[in-house]
Amino acid sequence: MKSKSISLNFIMNFLLTASSILFPLITFPYVSRVLGPTGTGAVAMGTSLVSYFTMVAMLGVPTYGIRACAQVRDDKKKLSKTVQELLIINLVMALFAYISFFILLWLVPAFRQESALYTICSAAVILNVIGVNWVYQALEEYSYITFVSVLFKALGLALMFLLVRNSEDVLWYGLVTVVSSFGSAVFNFIRLRKLIDLHPCRPWNFRRHLYPIFTFFFMSVATTVYTNLDTVMLGVMKNNEVVGYYNAAIKIKTILVTLVTSLGTVLLPRLSYYFEQGKEKEFLSLVSKAFSFVLLFSIPCCLYFSAYAREVVEFLSGPGYLPAVAPMIILMPTILFIGLSNITGIQVLVPTGKETLVLRSVILGAVVDFLLNLILIPSLGASGAAIGTLCAEFAVTLLQFWYLRKLLASIFRAIEFKELFFMLLSGTLVLWIVKYLTLSSLFWQLAISALLFFGTCGLTLLVCLESIVMSVVNKVWRK
């Protein structure tokens, strides 16, 4: 298989990420005003609940499948056999997940009241399975992934304004959310025949996948616990209104995390391939660049969105969502922690076959999150859930750093901390000055402050000749 350009892959994935950001930026301000905290909270509760059953159906394949397929991508017969085995495992588990899901709807009165909405949200289970997105990522088909994803997000955008018109349209909002997020799975499944041989490649060997799959599954369980349990526990211990406020803060955090981790999505298949081929120098070089990217991007985002939390929440969700400001500020450092643990876990430990260490770290995060939620949510509500998530992400990052302490010592020596310091110093000074500017429009206040702050950060890196910025400038200059 011809190796694709990492730069092109990153650009395509960045466009994909940008579309994932643009959709909620356009729709959430509209939906939050039409449906209110209770309506958006109900859909957030439904998607969070379904995520557990999706996790069971996928059984760790999304991450393991990328590594397994990337390692045999040059052999179509082995690739076809691997994909068929993993897809059959997913289909069997999807059947089990749906049986469990509908039993739960029948047994729990609170869930039974929202059965129509939750059933719509459950379409995500089968769409995740047949979407086989891990195959396309392993083969670095990012141009295709971006095209179909943007297509369905555009369709979702049109449907949102067409179908969600008043506070009673919660079911339509749930349907549009599923279509925009997972509708491309149908196209993925149809197009799969162009990438692999669909004729049964018997004898299938399911056993060889079981140990790594279950390792990744338990990792996914623990991760899902501390990324979704806060929402579910808020819904159970408080109400949908509190979930709606928290969801407003989570959506903003998720957008920023998606940007920070976008490079990791591109690097996983390439790093798995380098490790399988024994290309240690290329492996370490990519990891070092990933660390620099995360530090340069995540820390300014944490500063800006903490300083302008109130303005961002009011602009995106309206003045009725101001209780989301405190949880948002608490959650901002998780952008840095998730970006770093994404490198140490998904980009270093997973490609090198040390996923059991990642599992230990996320189990620690899940335990920390559960205990703190149990203690803090009754008294602090959404802010308590945010504190639990913050501490969980910090615990995960800290443990993974401990596992990789020898490797990270050499990688950190290559990071340009002096340039990072000057960037933060200049950006903070500008932010402090701009914060006191009074503008009549929230939009212009956010637009001008963001332009000045991030522009100052970028200009400082350019003046300091920071290596990543200069490499981008040189590539653009040559073209």
Q: How far is CA 384 from CA 99, 388, 442, in A?
A: 34, 6, 28
Last residue of a domain, one of 415, 430, 464: 415
pLDDT interval class at 8 (50, 70, 90): low
What is the structure's pLDDT at 314? Answer: 86
* Amino acid occupying residue 361: S
* Between residues 21 and 455, the one the model is more confident about: 455
Are 338 and 457 in a shared domain?
no
* The pLDDT of residue 120: 92
Looking at the predicted structure, is the pLDDT value of residue 394 above 90? yes
Same domain, 389 and 425: no
Q: Are residues 432 and 410 in the same domain?
A: no
- Cβ pair 101, 55 in contact under 8 A: no
In the structure, what pLDDT confidence band is assigned to residue 75 with cuts at 50, 70 and 90? Answer: confident
323 and 220 within one domain: yes
Q: Are residues 401 and 421 in the same domain?
A: no
424 in the same domain as 410 = no
Taking alpha carbons only, the member of 1, 142, 130, 9 closest to residue 69 is 1
320: DSSP letter:
G
pLDDT exceeds cutoff 60 at 140:
yes
- Taking residues 68-80, report their average pLDDT: 84
Query: Which range of residues forms the domain containing residue 467?
Result: 416-479
How many domains does the structure of the chain reveal? 2
Q: Is 140 left (phi over 0), alpha (psi -120 to 50) or beta?
A: left
Query: Is the same domain home to 297 and 441?
Result: no
Give Cα separations from 40 to 166, 178, 257, 321, 473 (angstroms): 12, 14, 21, 12, 42
| Together in a domain, 297 and 425 | no
What does pLDDT average to over the chain? Answer: 83
Higher model confidence: residue 224 or residue 164? 164
Residue 226 predicted with pLDDT over 90: no
pLDDT at residue 80 tops 60: yes
Please write down the HEC assignment for all residues of the chain.
CCCCCHHHHHHHHHHHHHHHHHHHHHHHHHHHHHHHHHHHHHHHHHHHHHHHHHHHHHCCHHHHHHHHHHHCCCCHHHHHHHHHHHHHHHHHHHHHHHHHHHHHHHHCHHHHHCHHHHHHHCHHHHHHHHHCHHHHHHCCCHHHHHHHHHHHHHHHHHHHHHHCCCCCCHHHHHHHHHHHHHCCHHHHHHHHHHCCCCCCCCCCCCHHHHHHHHHHHHHHHHHHHHHHHHHHHHHHHCCHHHHHHHHHHHHHHHHHHHHHCHHHHHHHHHHHHHHHHCCHHHHHHHHHHHHHHHHHHHHHHHHHHHHCHHHHHHHHHCHHHHHHHHHHHHHCCHHHHHHHHHHHHHHHHCCCCCHHHHHHHHHHHHHHHHHHHHHHHHHHCHHHHHHHHHHHHHHHHHHHHHHCHHHHHHHHHCCCHHHHHHHHHHHHHHHHHHCCCCCCCHHHHHHHHHHHHHHHHHHHHHHCCCHHHHHHHHHHHHC
Quote the pLDDT of residue 397.
93
Coil, strand or helix at 165: coil
Is residue 478's pLDDT more than 70?
no
Among 370, 398, 415, the domain boundary falls at 415
At 270 the pLDDT is: 62
Tell whether the model's pLDDT for residue 182 goes beyond 70. yes
Query: Looking at the structure, do residues 353 and 428 belong to the same domain, yes or no?
Result: no
- Residue 213 clears pLDDT 70, i.e. is over it: yes
Q: Looking at the structure, tell me whether residues 262 and 316 fall in a common domain.
A: yes
| Domain presence at residue 186 | yes
For residue 95, pLDDT over 70 is answered with yes
Mean pLDDT of 291-316: 86
Region 100-104: what's the mean pLDDT?
92
**Pair (123, 196) in one structural domain:** yes
**Any domain includes 228:** yes
What is the average pLDDT across 191-195?
89
Instruction: State the pLDDT confidence band at 263, using cuts at 50, 70 and 90.
Output: low
Reported as a pLDDT band with limits 50, 70 and 90, residue 271 is low
Look-up of token digits 């960045």: 14
As a whole number, mean pLDDT of residues 443-453 equals 86
Whether the predicted pLDDT of 65 surpasses 80: yes
| Domain end point (choices 375, 400, 415) | 415
Cα gap 70→270, rounded to integer Å: 8
Q: Is residue 1 part of a domain?
A: no
Predicted pLDDT of residue 266: 59
The C-alpha atoms of residue 233 and residue 241 are separated, in whole angstroms, by 13
Q: Is 283 in the same domain as 366?
A: yes
Residue 389 has pLDDT above 60, yes or no: yes
pLDDT value for 219: 79
Percent with pLDDT over 90 in the chain: 17
Q: What is the pTM of this model?
A: 0.71
Residues 409-438: what's their mean pLDDT? 80
Is residue 311 one of the residues assigned to a domain?
A: yes
